Amino acid sequence: MSDYWGVPEQEYELSLLQFARKELKEMGYTVLSEKVEVCSGAGAMTLTAILKKEEMNFGLYIHDGPKQRKTRGPPIIWMLRLLPEMKSAEDLRNFILNHQHDFSIILAPENTILKDRKEVKLNRIYKFLYNSKVKDLYDSDLSTAADVLKKRLRKSQD
């Protein structure tokens, strides 16, 4: 997106991280690229992003939805290592789709302590976003959750 923190320019573009601008900045993160997909119906959401902290770029993968929470527990939130050819969240997402069963192993960061620390911080940010933008949808009418969530994620933060 050319104006990342504004309203996405095109109909299909969505942003969740725009609503945590302050929290991300306080933790020293810069969002370089983000791709959010919301499945129809109940609104299962997948977010892939490339973030930067100091001189290190890394991938972020989040998968959440009512079915995820009901059958598998809390959302999946992973910090991922980036391959040299991954310049955008779209590149990262395409890799994930092409390696659905083993991307988390292939892209696992070598430094597990750093990975664990970052995932704890990113989990805090996602909890804030979930509680402010998503939770009420999953608690109520799931048949329209996707449409409402898509509208919410296109609004800029006022």
Phi, psi angle pair for 121, to nearest 5°: -65, -45
Amino acid at position 46, single letter: T
Q: Distance between CA atoms of 106 and 82, rounded to whole angstroms?
A: 10
Using one digit for the tens of pLDDT, what is the confidence trace for 60-90?
999 998 888 888 889 999 999 999 999 999 9
Specify the DSSP element, H or E, that contains 76.
Answer: strand 76-80
pTM, to two decimals: 0.88
Q: Distance between CA atoms of 133 and 129, rounded to whole angstroms?
A: 6
Tokens for 11? 């109909």
